[in-house]
Amino acid sequence: MTVVRRIARPMLAAIFVSSGLDALRHPRERARVAAPLVKKLSELPLNLPDNPELLVRANGATMVAAGAMLGTGKFPRVAAMALAAALVPTTYTAHAFWTVQDPAARSQQRVHFLKNVSLLGGVLLATVDTAGRPGLAYRTEHAKSEASRQAKLTKGEAKRAAKTARREARLAVHRAHHALS
């Protein structure tokens, strides 16, 4: 792991662990803010519970666990995907600046919204960070190419073996014919 990754991952993860712990400890106000979205989601066939406090705590637990994973470098791409998924509803419900009438409060919520959008960009980049190793798409294409190359080689070897077998069979027939004469 490079020095930049070793430093940047915990830096990015810190806000998620901190916010997640706060959501686990003090879910009431966040649940009140999240209630309208939870109500809308509970009407969809997603089988989500309609308990805002439970969902706030689940989101907080996701942030703590995935933040710790990202920060320690354990399955960082999976952790970053989980953080992105947890961040979207948090940003939408907690920082809906477009619904705020007071200009000062609206401006503050816009800053928080954009901060979260920036964090979302960071974790999305982390989802594609392969730490210098080839990604899944490259490895898949490489395996496909190697399998194709091996198939061509095997086909060529089979053709040569068949040609040799035919020649040997002709020679055996020719020898047998000469032996009988």
Query: Cα angle at 30 between 29 and 35, to 5 degrees?
Result: 100
Of the candidates 130, 151, 127, which has an alpha carbon nearest to the alpha carbon of residue 139?
Answer: 130
In angstroms, the CA 31 to CA 3 distance is 39
pLDDT tens string 72-120: 999 999 999 999 999 999 999 999 999 999 999 999 999 999 999 999 9
The residue extents of the domains of the chain are 3-128, 135-181
Query: What is the pTM (predicted TM-score) of this model?
Result: 0.70
- pLDDT on residue 1: 62
Helical segments of 26-135, H only = 27-42, 52-72, 76-94, 103-128
Task: State residue 80's pLDDT score.
Answer: 96
Here the tokens at position 101 are 């009438």
Q: Which residue has the higher pLDDT, 37 or 69?
A: 69
pLDDT at 174: 87
